[in-house]
Structure 1
Amino acid sequence: MSPSVPHRRLALLVGLLFLGALFVRLGYQYQMSSSPLWQAPILDEAVNHHWALEVARGEGWGELPFFRAPLYPWFLGLVYRVLGESPAGARLVQALLSSVTCLLVWWIARRTFSPLAGWCAGVLAATYWPWVYFDAELQDVPLGLFCNLAALAALVTWTPRRRQLWLPAAAGLLLGLSAITRPTVLVVLPAVAGWLWWQAGRADEARWRRRWWAPVLLAAGVAAAVLPVTALNRWVGGDAVLVASQGGMNFYIGNHPGSDGHSARFPGARADWESLRRESRRQAERARGTKLRASQVSDYWYGQGMEFWRRQPASALRLTARKAAYLGGAAELPNNKQIRFLIERYAPAWRRPWLWPGFSLVAPLGLVGLWWGGGGRRSVLLGTFALSYGAAVVAFFVTARFRMPVMAVWIVLAGGGAAALLRLARRGPRRRLLAATVTLLLAAVLVQLPARGQRENAAHGHYTLARAHGQRGQPARAEQEYRRALALQPAFSEALLGWSALLLEGGRADEALPLLRKAVATHPDDLPLRANLALTLQAVDRAQESVKLLQQGLSRRPDQPDLWLWLGNAQMKAASPGDAIASFRRVLELEPARADGRYNLANALMSAGDAQQAVRTYRSLLVDHPDHHGGWNMLGIALSGRGDLEVAVHAFETAVQLQPQSPRAHLNLGQALRRQGSTEAATRQFQRTRELDPGGDAGRQASQLLDE
């Protein structure tokens, strides 16, 4: 037999492993494509999707300093730029990337344990159902796992005798890329550097000083990836943020008296990123009594989390023990979506989790691999990496998505465990086989204990589907899902809010009104519910009742700027601009940088006849928010009313540049140009208005002006 034949056979088997992993992922994605969420990203996915669209369209790299780590949205933006702005194309690329990552798992296990362990680990990675699930999400999991496992592949390949110093440097670069995907991985760097120093000491020729080369090159590789992001934050964003500023908020979410250890709920905020970000900043600035930079907001919440430990150490320890149990438990805790709920509904081939490898199999096998796999120092690296990363997850809060980097490494150890059991069953010794088997069975029982009583929230699953149907313009299906959610959980505030908003948008305010009255009675401190009831009252011409409702809310929560803003809007609807001015000023006392507060205040000043003060307020708004289309448009109207036509034209031109598809902006510009005597330019603007809004009010008004 030719020496190349075994290599060909190996290449064929590796290719089959890759194709098998890809087939499994594409099969799952095909089934899940019938879900309304497939083309309607929500929550974290929506943030990543919209950020990626900005990158793909060349509109910037994201808001600086970064609140979230930027590499995944950048990666997603590149995919959109090449394949088109469809999430389906991005999911295909993620399936391909993770199929490559399965080969990395195979290589690491083969290098650490044995060829048999490599195949066992590769098959587990290809079919591990939570991994397959997250490959179909617009989340950072596939990219982060690739970076982590590519780094580990470089580390287990490195041998100090051969002085392959480029491998620790490459590993550092990959871990740095992982850090700007999800910064949690930075916690494992000291352990990895220590392992490199320890491993370098095995070489006969290694002297004490030479042992530091590998850790130093690792650190240099990390710095090469992370420091450019830090520089962007510092020199463009104006703040000393290493990667992202959300860390303090996330730490507090998992370390405060009301935390359950797994829900991404921030006290006082709703479960969406804009609300979480704004409320965390508002509370921090109120407590400090001054405007804070993003890094200072993060530091404040880290401090509040540590204050919980100082004041209530027993409660903090109990909470940490609960989070550790979640990390080591079989339940896959959802973050944005109810995982099993969606699989049961849309992926029939995956409805029986026991048919596919999951945590219940991988965790016990990984433990066997760690102790009896015979991986030597390389298995120490894998175990240290997984346990360090797991400890970092427990320090914040635990979800299935955050646990995946731990499990990807644990799958390598599980391959070693499976191979060890097969080896011991064939050749013994029986004592070790018995010990390994007992360990496997005991661990299999223990991982089920934290899952007892854990049930996914089906009501939340229906609510998520309702939101997706609403985004896709399917109100009947959305209403059906809202009804199902409320049948399971009648007091579900988010579902009540969503359904009422759907009814209001559909012109069914009379139906929304009793629903919202009941909801506000059940949740008197729920601000968005109260706001929706106020809007509904305004829609049925009961503005004064709306004002009274919001004033009642303020008697309970006088420090809430949202309530003051909504009250000002209601007072404007009730033709009380003087009262509205006072309400909007109160918004700005509580939250000075708030753009909608300044904009609405300027509008109220215009309604009250104080054009001079309105112009000053619009200009103040536009200094801090130069892309505020409404601000430029209203500034133009205010200036035009004062006769400052030249400056008004400039304001309207800026509004048109910001929103070239806005018929009202073109109409306003045309009217100002006509008053200025630029008839031809005005005619072009009126024609453009008519093209954009042929049957609307702006289009009809433009037609009348063209006929004059």
Structure 2
Amino acid sequence: IADMPGEFWAYEMLGIYYVEAGETDRAAQIVEQFMEQVRTGPSFLKAQLLLARIHYRKQNLDKALELADEILQENPADAAAHRLKGGILLLRGDFQGAITEYRAVLRQDPQNIQASLYIARAHLLDGEMSLAENTYKKILEMHPNEQRAHFGLVEVYRRKGETTAAKRQLEMVLEVNPDDTETLMRLGDMALSMQDTEAAHEYFNRLSALHPDSGHYNYYKEGMVKLLEGKDAEAASLFEKSLQVDPDFIPALNQLINMLVKEKRLEKAFQRCRDQIARSPDNPRYYVLLGKLYMMKDDHDGARKAFEEGLEIDPSSPDVLLSLAKLAKLSGSLDEAIARYQSLMEKYPKNLGVALV
């Protein structure tokens, strides 16, 4: 940069380096430094696009959108700017606006699978199931082995209550890639939801063979099958084994606590949760679980104390912050609840659960 202050590529490389290092403010300063020297031309537009992406990475969506619009005003055919704007609008819930932007990308590049997938996703999120289904099917006509399109159809069919059709999509992926971990996991979970324990055993055994080092997960899934079969003692033993392998694996502790609560053994549930906290004291989600047990006793002070202990461990934990917001709402402190939810939305704009609450 010192030798060639007018060459964008050097600023670009350094800016990308800072982005990857997590120093987005410094990255933005580097790009702005170039833009102050070169105020027009193709290199300026490239710098503007990189700056927009940096603001997008920082979750400063207003500024990212403003920059994308400036680029498109100068060059309406800029596919990268349309793609970025589509992503921003998708995050904001403007699904039709996002579709318009991704269609502009396809006009420049008709074979762009990613743009087609985003269009299908936007239709899905907007509740347009038929349009989403048709878009995913068109993608598969051109690219029969596009796994993301199969997974998209799985979600469409599940929302429509067509479990058999959803299962068939997963089986089609498995026919091409028999050892695909994510597909085996989805089929195993689907078998559990359909109470098909024999199929669940099959899929989870295949996962265990593929990932023998993932003992905590394998024990947990086998425990879920035993739970479905009504073999609670065997299930509990497997969940305990899961936690022995990985003391921080919260799904296993969740199941143990749920089993005790269903048996109306609340004090035993408290003790089991505290035991796990003693084994793994730096896991903020365990304090969330403890706080929820206090809430079952209508002990809001105890719940708040547990949540705040979790917050001391990880001040940015979305689970802890969400639990504190829910507690404030339940306690009637609506102003505090709204403030906490708004703070969460600023920190985690992609968290749809927070947005829904």
TM range (shorter): 0.5 to 0.7
Which of 487, 490, 493 is residue 44 of structure 2 equivalent to?
A: 490
Pick aligned residue for 1:479 from 20, 23, 28: 28
1:43-442 equivalent positions in 2, closer than 5 A: 341=1
| Residues 1:691 and 2:251 aligned together | no
Note closer, same or farther for the CA distance 1:662–1:702 as it changes in structure 2 (3 Å cut).
farther
Is the alpha carbon distance of 1:570 and 1:490 closer, same or farther for their aligned partners in structure 2, counting shifts above 3 Å?
same
Match of 1:577 among 129, 154, 176: 129
CA contact (8 A) 1:689 1:699 kept: no
Cα shift readout 1:482-540 (whole Å, capped 9, x = no counterpart): 33455543210xx5555444433433223322222333444545545433322211222
Measured in 1, the distance between the counterparts of 2:186 and 2:73 equals 38
1:461 is paired with a residue of what secondary structure?
helix
1:631 aligns with 2:180: no
Whichever residue aligns with residue 238 of structure 2, its letter is: A
1:705 to 258, 262, 272: 258
Q: Tell me if 1:640 matches 2:192.
A: yes
Preserved CA contact (<8 Å) 2:65 2:88: yes
Q: Which has the larger radius of gyration?
A: 1
Aligned residues of 2:195 and 2:228 also touching (Cα < 8 A)? no
Q: Deviations over 1:319-364 (max 9, x none)?
A: xxxxxxxxxxxxxxxxxxxxxx5xx5xxxxxx7xxxxxxxxxxxxx
- RMSD of aligned residue pairs (Cα, Å): 3.7
8 A contact 1:543–1:573 mirrored in 2: yes
Checking the alignment, whether the CA contact within 8 Å between 1:692 and 1:699 is kept in structure 2 is yes
- 1:671 aligned partner: 224
**Structure 1 residue aligned with 2:17:** 468
Alignment match, 2:142: 590
Q: Where does residue 84 of structure 1 map in the other structure?
A: none
Q: Which has the higher contact order (CA 8 A, sep 6+)?
A: 1
Matched residue type, 1:684: K
Flag structure 1 segments of 5+ consecutive residues without an equivalent. 1-340, 345-350, 352-454
Q: Identity over the aligned pairs, expressed in percent? A: 15
The 3-state SS of whatever aligns with 2:248 is helix
1:458 aligns with 2:12: no
Cα distance in 2 between the residues matched to 1:527 and 1:669: 48
Rounded to whole Å, the distance in 2 between the matches of 1:456 and 1:626 is: 53
Q: Write the deviation string for residues 282-318 of structure 1: whole angstroms up to 9, x where unpaired.
A: xxxxxxxxxxxxxxxxxxxxxxxxxxxxxxxxxxxxx
Tell me the distance in 2 between the aligned counterparts of 1:465 and 1:609: 50
Shift of 1:565: 1.0
The gaps in structure 2 that reach 5 residues or longer are 262-357
Residue 566 and residue 526 in structure 1: after superposition, are their counterparts in 2 closer, same or farther (change >3 A)?
farther
Contact 1:667 1:702 in 2 (8 A): no
Distance 1:669 1:563 in 2: 39
Residue type at the aligned position of 2:189: I
- Is the contact between residue 538 and residue 546 of structure 1 (CA under 8 Å) also seen in structure 2? yes
State the shift of 1:562 in Å.
Answer: 2.6
Cα distance in structure 2, aligned partners of 1:644 and 1:686: 26
Aligned-partner residue type, residue 674 of structure 1: L
Q: Is the 8 A contact 1:633 1:651 kept in 2?
A: yes
**1:560–1:692 Cα change, 3 Å:** same
Question: In the alignment, which residue of structure 2 is the partner of 1:389?
Answer: none
Partner amino acid, structure 1, of 2:21: R
Query: What's the secondary structure of 1:491's corresponding residue?
Result: helix
Q: Distance in 1 between matches of 2:227 and 2:191?
A: 15
**CA distance in structure 1 between the partners assigned to 2:64 and 2:166 by the alignment:** 35
- Name 1:550's counterpart in structure 2: 102
2:316 corresponding residue in structure 1: none
Measured in 1, the distance between the counterparts of 2:200 and 2:150 equals 19
Deviation of 1:585 after TM superposition, in Å, equals 1.1
Q: Does the CA contact (< 8 Å) of 2:219 and 2:238 recur in 1?
A: no
Shift of the alpha carbon at 1:575?
2.6
Determine the C-alpha separation between the residues in 2 that align with 1:609 and 1:537: 28
Kept after mapping to 2: 8 A contact 1:504/1:512 = yes
Contact 1:501 1:532 in 2 (8 A): yes
1:96 is matched with none
Residue 507 of structure 1 aligns to a residue whose secondary structure is: coil
Rounded to whole Å, the distance in 1 between the matches of 2:137 and 2:76 is 25
Name the CA shift for 1:575/1:652 in 2 (closer, same or farther; >3 Å): farther
The question of whether the paired residues in 1 share the 8 Å contact of 2:95 and 2:125 is answered with yes
Residue 611 of structure 1 is aligned with which of 149, 163, 178? Answer: 163
Cα distance in 2 for partners of 1:498, 1:626 equals 40
Q: Is the 8 A contact 2:239 2:255 kept in 1?
A: no
- Any idea what the Cα deviations from partners look like across 1:154-209, whole Å, max 9, x if unmatched? xxxxxxxxxxxxxxxxxxxxxxxxxxxxxxxxxxxxxxxxxxxxxxxxxxxxxxxx
CA separation of 1:564 and 1:646: change in aligned 2, threshold 3 A: same
Alignment CA distance shift 1:672-1:583 (3 Å) = farther
**Aligned residue pair count:** 251
User: For 2:246 and 2:161, how far apart are their aligned partners in 1?
Assistant: 28
Assess, with a 3 A threshold, how the Cα gap between structure 1 residues 511 and 692 changes in structure 2: closer, same or farther. Answer: farther
Letter in 1 for 2:62: D
Partner secondary structure for residue 602 of structure 1: helix
Asked if the contact 1:584–1:600 (Cα under 8 Å) also holds between the matched residues in 2, the reply is: yes
Name the TM-score, length of structure 2 as normaliser: 0.57
| Whole-angstrom distance in 1 between the partners of 2:132 and 2:240 | 37
Q: Give the C-alpha shift of residue 566 in structure 1.
A: 1.1
Relative to structure 1, the CA distance from residue 647 to residue 524 in structure 2 (aligned partners, 3 Å threshold; closer, same or farther) is farther
Deviation at 1:691, TM superposition (A): 0.7
